[in-house]
Structure 1
Amino acid sequence: MKNLLFGMAVLFFTGAANPIFSQKTESPTFVGNIEGVKEYSLSNGMRVLLLSDQSQSNMVVNIVYNVGSKDEGYGEKGMAHLLEHMLFKSTKNMGDIKKQLSDKGGQANGTTWFDRTNYFEIFPSSDENLKWSLQMEADRMINATILQSDLDKEFSVVRNEFEIGENDPTRVMMQNVFSSGYTWHNYGNSTIGSKEDIERVKAPTLRKFYEKYYQPDNATLIVAGKFDEKNALQYISEYFSAIPKPSRELGGTYTVEPAQNGEKYFEIKRNNDQQIIAAGYHTSAFADKDYAALAALYEILTSDPSGYLYKSLVETQKISSVWTFSPVVRDPGMVYFNFDVPKDKDLNQATNFVKAELDKVASTKYTTDDLKRAKAKLIKDIENEKNNTINFAINLTEIVGAGNYKLGFLYRDNVEKLTLEDINRVAQKYFKTNNRTLGVFRPSSNEERVFPTEFRENQIADLVKGYKGKALEKEPAPFEASIANLKKNLTEGKLSNGMKYGLINKELKGEKVQGSFRFRIGNEKDLQDKNAVASITAALLKAGTKNKTKEQIQDELDEMKSSINLYAYGQSFILNISTYKQYYPKVMGILQDILTNSIFPETELSKTVIETNTWLEGQLKDPNAIANNEVQRLASPYPKTSIFYISSLQERIDDNKKVTRAQIMDFYQNIMGASNGVGTIIGNLDPKLAAAELEKTFGKFTAKSKFVEVKPTFFETKKQDKNIITPDKENAVALGTSSFRMAQDHPDYPALVMANEILGSGGFLSARLPMRLREKDGISYGVGSYLSVPITNDVASWNYYAYLNPTKRDAVEAAIKEEVGKALASGFTQEELDSNKKSYANERKTNLGMENTLINLVNTQLLFGVPVEKFDEQNTKIQNLKLSEVNDALKKYLSENNIISVFAGDFNKK
């Protein structure tokens, strides 16, 4: 089941000591402990959840308000999301929220959905960060300024976010399924809202909405990761308990969607090559036990390769792919089915095929193997989420929005208790033609209409009352986020074929194990004209071996809550694994089978090409895809014979069609190998056992083709501005690049990194480009810059991006050029340098608390000989930079005369 958040509005960023209240405070009251989730309450109605994980080096503060697009009235569509944006502006006591978040580094985000809005901050664990986050969220709860001057700028940013979604055919289709399927309930409205309402709402109206819903009795505060629980409770008491419980009664929403009277049909006609068939069925609320049975049914229907719809539609090549999405919601929801159709297929005929297969869902007799397979996949996903404490705390947002955090545990319990009767029952109950949104209205008599069960507040309270959960799991050991500690817990070695490996001894929650491997392959001669072959070969490695079918491989991985992902491009073959300590040997055994015994069935090759090309066809008229492809082709004009040649989107489609099984077998048998590669595993594994399994898996995985690194060519870019018209597209994009010579070991590299931080990538929207285009002018939802500086060669580039309304094209171009010109002419200020040094250091510390960062550091050391100590050395160099060095580096490597800019969008719009 694909979790595509079609309407979730997201404000994403990376990036005061005065007391807030003077009222009497109280200590939070302990309510209970459900599997490590400690619940507390305050007399003002606020719920508090604490999730301690001392193995983390980071902490997250996440606050969830039970208000979303469901709660919006006439003329208020999009108000919850717009308010989410506004609450990143300022508060009465804390001042500029973005500036302080920027100074602290870390990561922060705000999201809005049907039933809830949330805000969270991830920081390195410290008492200072914990106290600041709690103090800030308490002040933001009731003291946001919500100024009309800020709103005047922000509504354009939100409108641009709306327009970005309008360019995506899949999002447009999903939104129309929901809006057509719901007659009265607000789940039919997009969270981003109505463009007209967004543009017309005034600050006083927005403040009324804020004062009604942003109150302690409508909030759940979640603190997770590594933190001092005693201090957390003290700060919560100090900052939140003093907020009085409001006198108003929310009352809640009471609209119930009536049963559908017949099948609904809609059609959208827009300028795009992508063909999509979509279907929606009214289903259950998350609190309903039917939700678990339905989730299993979706897996049974759509999973690759065992799904019934997958087998009947994708394997027969009637369509190219199928997936589902069923949001976690408070009231009876809807499941969305997406069927992608290649443009060379007849859409009417494909629609008839889809409807015929959907009509079979209710009458199919599912098997115990179907149930076992689906339960394994769902339980794997549940366990993997639970064992990542930071993500788990953030994902609890959805469960809280659905009514109560304990519902997540009940859902898991319901999955574990599923029977075959449950699957057949929900299939028969919900999958009726008159409950579907897809086709035309067809009158009929004696219809058995579907009435999903409604859950009132008291029913949910009764449902979770006294729930105890499972026994608490063993807490993983603490792990200090530092390079010194990484080295202390690192074991390095070499296999018989020359492959190097690293083992990081770190206990992960649930005894999880992660691994990442990177193999350098081939040479210029052997890789010529093989870009498509390489990509498809990697995609097909799990399509079956001499010993196991594709279905058996996927079933075994799901049973072990594990995954294997493989990619190939250029001279890189990338392999990632995720598993658990007890399953590590078995997963490595499956991997060995894949690497040595894959058979690449013709039918799977054909399906993969069709699926890949269907996706590419959807990109042919997408402004972002077009601009990205074109700016690369202009900046790197390699000949077609080069392995670095940038194919056009249509060329990629044509090349994929030419790939044969013989080419794949040749690539697999002669070019793929591990001799010139490295890999790092993180987890609490016995080093001897881990190394022995690596030897079994990779020791004999050698390539016949000799690896010889192909160095890229340096092309000096020259000033060029190019417009590409993409008709009938609501959003546009601007991309730019400028080339220069530099490797990461160059003395100027730290200074250029900091220059780029100040110009376009650093802080919490505080870099110059986002401050100008988003915060000041309000003409771009997303804008910034980034560096691409390699390790082993000196072909580098500076790049920028901006998303915009097509009518703002000239204003965006002028603003970007003006800001770059000002930086080059006048340089940066000492205040900017000091602020970005601090946020850069904090962000680096946050990254060290993430498993992927540790793995990448070790792999870089093994592959390129870059010691892990360079991570700290880089920050030391940054902190010691002088302002003159930063300004000089920018002027030395960036010139307005060398920037290629590509603008793609419907610039004929008025």
Structure 2
Amino acid sequence: MTLGLVPPFVKIFLFIGLMLLSTSLAVIFPLHTVEGLGSGVIKTVLDNGLTVLIKEIPTAPVVSLQVWYRVGSRHEPKGENGIAHQLEHLMFKGTKSRPVQFGQLFYALGSSSNAFTSYDMTAYHHTVRADHLESLLILEADRLRNTLMTADALESEKRVVISELQGYENSPEYRLSRAVMAALYPDHPYGLPVGGTAKDVAQFTLPAVKHFYHQYYRPDNAVVVIAGDVRPPRALELVKKTFGQIPRPTDPLKSPALSPPRAGSSQRIRLTEPGSAPLLQLVVPIPAMTHPDQAALEVLDMLLSGGRSSYLYQELMETGQASSAYSYVAALQAGGWFEIGAIAAPEQSLATIEQTIGQILSQLGQRPLTAGELQRAKQQLKANFILRNRDIDAQASQLANDETLTGDYRFSDRHLAAIEKVTAADIQRVVQTYFGRDRWIVGEFIPSEFADVELSGRPSAQTTAHNLVGEPVDPQTIAAYLPQVTAEAAPEVKNNGVETFTLPNGLRVLLLVDRSTPTVTLAGRIDAGTAYDLLTQPGVANLTAANLLNGTRHKTALTLAQTLEDRGISLEFSAFRDGVDIEGYALASELPTLLQTLGEVLQEATFPEAEFKLSQQRYLTALGLEADDPVRWGRRVLQETLYPANHPLHPFATPDSVQAIQRQDLLNFYRAAYRPDHTILTLVGDFDPVEVRSRLNEIFGSWQPQTAPLSLTFPVVSPPAQTLFKNAVIAGKSQAITYLGAPGIDRRDPRFYATMLMNHLLGGDTLASRLGTEIRDRQGLTYGIHSFFSASRQAGPFIIQLQTAPEDTAKAIQATLQLLREARRQGFTAAELDAAKRSLSHTYMVELANVDVVARTLLGNASVDLPPEELQQFSDRLKAVTLDQVNQALRDLIDPDHLVIVTAGPAVSFSP
């Protein structure tokens, strides 16, 4: 339940967590073969004013329920900035009839649930097995008018929210955005951060929060959307049975007028603060989301930053001025803004970048686009919209967004028609209208210092914690508050016939036909990950993957980009410890081009010197940003401490190691590690498997290894002899990120399923796990705490991660260690285990409604030599785990007296 939850179907942007959640419809454009988003939707307005949208999508036995309220930070009284977001947090604290954490209830139902607050709305959304829809409706209707708010709950959640806000302050991008937005809209809530400020949050009173709740949380100010495997008449009957019983308030709904916010005058803002790289943000005001110019602004956005062939990439990144560049449209109910931004490359000035952006805009305003440029942007918008709308939750969210903000769930269909009509003259006109220099708000972030990260460490002699840990929540107590609804038997997970085969050269392939949408997902993995940096030079594996699309024997980088982007195809390579992951997405008709391009870059990449040098400079900038980010730097220090120098999980790239890399190092690694017998490809989507098999043989059949395979040794790692604490101090940070880690297990370890359940119970859910219930919900010491483990072909670490204010860090660590001791001593209960099995099994089935998740799951299983049948057998394996096995997994893997603890960010002292 954060501001960072971003529905995937809408181009909603976030300024490092919470400065902005906008509702720009940047990816809306249909193909004639695809029905409009609003097709098949049944709209009903109940007698109490509640708007209900229902859409039957019978592609999987799941349903998305969304409840959106027409209230956000725009509705907040002066001096109460952030109260909408604070209320969102309290909505999980229970109701008068169910005085328990609602996250626990959603967990028990196996629902994927969350919430977010934006400028114009607040939304609560769930994806769950279809037979649990009635239970979710009962719970959401209950908290619409009966949320239980107490002074203690408010004080606890105020601490959590302040921790959240201070966490965003760790980011220079956020701090600059906050100043820029205040200058853009100085007299309007759009100029304030959605989550508020720590000062305002600290002053919230219970009467003020209750007043805001009763003023805006009412049926005539809400939209309920149900999409998925439902029968509309039955779904509407359930809504009437639950929400329909809530009376419409007698007092009229009062909401701020939708008058356009007054934009501030052109000005320049400069922040000189600790950081790692110069940042530029250029913002101009634009009209509301329903304005006719929005369609042209969306196309302009794609022209500027829609891939490698875009203007910003070519003029800023290919010239070496910027390490990254972006643009986006923020289109809200009453107004909005268009932002262009960049991170300067080493030794490059923000003034030069700003000048280049001005030249680009001047060119777009004066010279008509070519037909090819305009068509490319539109085709990218088409493909993005279709690909992002494959997910049931995404469709429900888009419908809710349209109805909540415009009063018309068909707004996307109308908007996409407008995009189709955009002309080159329209692009010139909007540039001339909105991008005059007298409208620019320019923000510059100049790093004042970037000292080396300081490390302090010492072994800790563990003692009993000074604070008491509460009793774990009894699942039977939670069950007593669940709606008494008879659920159907869980449907089986089916693989619908996964076809597997291996080419003569060793390349493994998995094919799964899914004709629910005219799209294809490609997921692949090459055993060429950063673990091999131990044999070469730290950074080689990452740079090799980053340069694959920089040119082949027959195509330049730009030609490759245009080949893909002209057709709306996405193809990316990312290096991780376990390998190089391949992600590809395309409309079904473009699958041949996707496969042909993949085959070309895997077999014929040339690594041109000029592009290599540019990627090397971007990598150096990225390393600087990593060292300024407590989340990433803390994880790095943990792993370097946990694993010895001769272990493949130990080395990380450094500026020195990256600067020492030459183009020939990439070529050597490419020839040794990129080989068919170390590659797996998975395709899920709308295709003819016979034709695809033939095409794969044609494209990849002649690919042969060029050298002997690389070989790695993974030494056995033991936990430290005693718990070791390190404080990685980073200048200018207000929130601490802490990791507690120990060696874990690999995927084929017989304890894997027991460890999954143990992790789920311990910290797998921020609100429903033991750690979340105690450290976050009861003690209010952290915005978020969770546990996770990395288990693939090789064993990775088991980790607990939490975010705290510096003054709470030691107490939170101590409380965590105390909870671990008590959990090891007392163990989990049979009731907890049964609840975890149900939750994980239900969540697993819900996730598999997404074709991208299916593709990644099949790939992950294949990469550790598990058969396709694991897709169906996973839940049965969980069910077979015993309580003794789960408790033993905890005792085997997490010993509070033998951990590595790393806190990154502010200086803290920890004395257990």
Q: TM-score range by the shorter chain?
A: 0.7 to 0.9
Summarize the alignment of residues 156-167 of structure 1 with structure 2, pairs less than 5 Å apart. Answer: 156-167=159-170
Question: Aligned partner of 1:687: which letter?
Answer: P
> 1:832 and 1:332, CA in 2 relative to 1: closer, same or farther beyond 3 A?
same
The residue aligned with 1:450 is none
Aligned partner of 1:771 in structure 2 is 773
Over the aligned positions, Cα root-mean-square deviation in angstroms equals 2.9
| Secondary structure of 2:406 counterpart | coil
Q: Over residues 408-434 of structure 1, what are the superposed CA-to-partner deviations in whole Å (9 max), with x where a residue is unaligned? A: 222211111111111000010001111
The letter for the 1-side match of 2:511 is: L
- Equivalent in the alignment of 2:478: none
1:907 counterpart residue number: 907
Q: Is the counterpart of residue 419 in structure 1 residue 423 in structure 2?
A: yes
SS at match of 1:253: coil
Query: Does the CA contact (< 8 Å) of 2:672 and 2:709 recur in 1?
Result: no
Letter in 1 for 2:809: R
Match of 1:540 in 2: 547
Match for residue 145 of structure 2 among 142, 154, 160: 142
Deviation at 1:580, TM superposition (A): 2.4
2:560 to 553, 559, 562: 553
With over 3 angstroms needed to count, the CA separation of the structure-2 counterparts of 1:666 and 1:352, relative to structure 1, is same
Counterpart residue number, 1:463: none
The reply on whether 1:688 has 2:690 as its aligned counterpart is: yes
- Please give the secondary structure, in 2, of the residue aligned with 1:723: strand
What residue number does 1:385 align with? 388
- Secondary structure at the aligned position of 2:66 is classed as strand
Deviation at 1:143, TM superposition (A): 1.4
CA contact (8 A) 1:328 1:399 kept: no
Q: Is it true that 1:490 corresponds to 2:498 in the alignment?
A: yes
In the TM superposition, residue 899 of structure 1 has moved relative to its aligned partner by 0.5
1:16-165 to 2 correspondence within 5 Å? 34-96=38-100, 97-126=102-131, 129-165=132-168
Distance apart, 1:810 and its partner CA: 1.4
Q: How does 1:707-746 map to 2 (within 5 A)?
A: 707=709, 709-718=711-720, 719-739=723-743, 742-746=745-749
AA matched with 2:385? I
Aligned 8 A contact 1:169 1:274 in 2: no
Letter in 1 for 2:821: G
Q: 2-side partners of 1:743 and 1:353: how far apart?
A: 49
The question of 1:366 aligning with 2:369 is answered: yes
Aligned to 2:171: 168
Q: Structure 2 vs 1, CA of residues 899 and 261 (structure 1 numbering), >3 Å: closer, same or farther?
A: closer
> Which secondary structure state, in structure 1, belongs to the residue aligned with residue 430 of structure 2?
helix
| Cα distance in 1, alignment partners of residues 104 and 530 from structure 2 | 49
| 2:462 alignment partner in structure 1 | none
Letter in 2 for 1:501: V
Report the alpha carbon displacement of residue 277 of structure 1 after superposing the two structures with TM.
1.2
Instruction: Indicate the larger mover: 330-339 or 845-854.
Output: 845-854
* Uncovered stretches (5+) of structure 1, i.e. residues with no partner: 13-31, 441-479
For residue 865 of structure 1, report the CA deviation from its aligned partner. Answer: 3.1
1:817 match: 817
Q: Which moved more, 1:323-332 or 1:419-428?
A: 323-332
Q: CA deviation at 1:570?
A: 4.8
Letter of the 1:579 counterpart? A
C-alpha distance in 1, partners of 2:84/2:530?
55
Q: Is the 8 A contact 1:591 1:697 kept in 2?
A: no
CA offset at residue 777 of structure 1?
0.8
> Which string of whole-angstrom CA distances, capped at 9 and with x for unpartnered residues, describes residues 221-245 of structure 1?
1111222222201101211222222
Q: Secondary structure at the match of 2:236?
A: helix
Does the 8 Å CA contact 2:380/2:567 hold for their aligned counterparts?
no
Alignment-derived partner of residue 246 in structure 1: 249
CA shift at 1:818, angstroms? 1.0
Query: What is residue 620 of structure 1 aligned with on the other side?
Result: 627
Answer with 662-671 or 150-159: which moved more: 662-671
CA shift, 1:602, in A, is: 2.8
Does structure 2 conserve the Cα–Cα contact (< 8 Å) formed by 1:524 and 1:708? Answer: no
> Is the contact made by 1:318 and 1:353 (CA closer than 8 Å) also made in structure 2?
no
The 1-side partners of 2:37 and 2:902 are apart by: 55
Residue 509 of structure 2 aligns to which amino acid in structure 1? Y
Output the CA distance in 2 between the equivalents of 1:424 and 1:321: 25
TM-score, length basis structure 1: 0.86
| Alignment coverage as a number of residue pairs | 838
Q: CA deviation at 1:750?
A: 3.3
TM-score (norm 2): 0.86
- Deviation of 1:709 after TM superposition, in Å, equals 4.8
1:840/1:805 CA distance change after superposition, 3 Å = same
Any conservation in 2 of the 1:522–1:708 contact (CA below 8 Å)? no
- Equivalent residue of 1:285, what SS? coil
**Code of the aligned partner of 2:13:** L
Q: 1:645 to 1:909 in 2, by over 3 A?
A: closer
Unaligned runs of 5+ in 2: 1-9, 22-35, 445-489
Alignment partner of 1:499 out of 503, 507, 518: 507
Contact 1:329 1:398 in 2 (8 A): no
Once the two structures are TM-superposed, the CA of residue 658 in structure 1 deviates from its matched residue by: 3.0
Q: Report if the CA contact (8 A) 2:530-2:542 is conserved.
A: no
Identify if the C-alpha distance between structure 1 residues 496 and 901 changes in structure 2 by more than 3 Å, giving closer, same or farther.
Answer: same
Following the alignment from structure 2 to structure 1, what is the Cα–Cα distance between the partners of residues 94 and 531? 55
Q: Secondary structure at the match of 1:834?
A: helix
Q: Does the CA contact (< 8 Å) of 1:499 and 1:674 recur in 2?
A: yes
Paired residues for 1:403-414 under 5 Å: 403-404=406-407, 405-414=409-418
Separation of aligned partners in 2, 1:2 and 1:176: 23
2:116 and 2:831 map into 1 onto residues whose CA distance is 31
Identity of aligned residues (%): 24
Alignment partners' CA distance in 2, 1:276 and 1:661? 29
The 1:874–1:492 alpha-carbon spacing in structure 2 relative to 1, beyond 3 Å, is closer
SS at match of 2:738: strand
Q: 1:309 to 1:507 in 2, by over 3 A?
A: closer
Alignment of 1:540-689 (within 5 A): 540-570=547-577, 572-639=579-646, 643-647=648-652, 651-689=653-691
Whole-Å Cα distance in 2 between the matches of residues 834 and 861 of structure 1?
25
Measured against aligned partners, the alpha-carbon deviations of 1:853-872 in whole angstroms (never above 9, x if no partner) come to 43344335544332344455
Aligned partner of residue 288 in structure 2, secondary structure: coil
User: 1:314/1:867 Cα in 2 relative to 1: closer, same or farther (>3 Å)?
Assistant: closer
* Structure 1 residues 307 and 498: CA distance shift in structure 2, 3 A: closer
Q: After superposition, where does 1:746-825 map in structure 2 within 5 Å?
A: 746-762=749-765, 765-790=767-792, 792-793=793-794, 795-825=795-825
Aligned twin of 1:445: none
Q: Find the residue that maps to 1:266 and give its secondary structure.
A: strand
The answer to whether the Cα contact below 8 Å between 1:837 and 1:878 also exists between their aligned partners in 2 is yes
Matches of 1:904 and 1:755, distance apart in 2? 27
Cα distance in 1 for partners of 2:531, 2:630 equals 32
1:341 lines up with 2:348 in the alignment? no
Amino acid at match of 1:389: I
Deviations 1:248-278 (A, max 9, x none): 3334323645665742111112211221011
Query: Residues 688 and 281 of structure 1: is their aligned pair in 2 closer, same or farther, counting only changes over 3 Å?
Result: same
Cα gap change, 1:309/1:280 in structure 2, threshold over 3 Å: closer, same or farther? same
Taking a change above 3 Å as real, the CA distance of residues 334 and 857 of structure 1, as seen in their structure-2 partners, is closer
Asked if the contact 2:69–2:223 (Cα under 8 Å) also holds between the matched residues in 1, the reply is yes
- Give, in angstroms, the shift of residue 542 of structure 1: 2.0
Q: Is the 8 A contact 1:754 1:836 kept in 2?
A: yes
Q: Whole-Å Cα distance in 1 between the matches of residues 430 and 509 of structure 2?
A: 49
Secondary structure in 2 aligned to 1:310? helix
Per-residue Cα deviation, 1:107-140 (whole angstroms, up to 9, x for no partner): 10100001010001111222xx111111211122
Letter in 1 for 2:321: K
8 Å Cα contact 2:65/2:227 also seen in 1: yes
Distance 1:110 1:342, change over 3 A: same
Amino acid paired to 1:6: F
Q: Distance in 2 between matches of 1:8 and 1:723?
A: 24
Q: Deviations over 1:45-89 (max 9, x none)?
A: 222122221112321101111110111111221011111111111
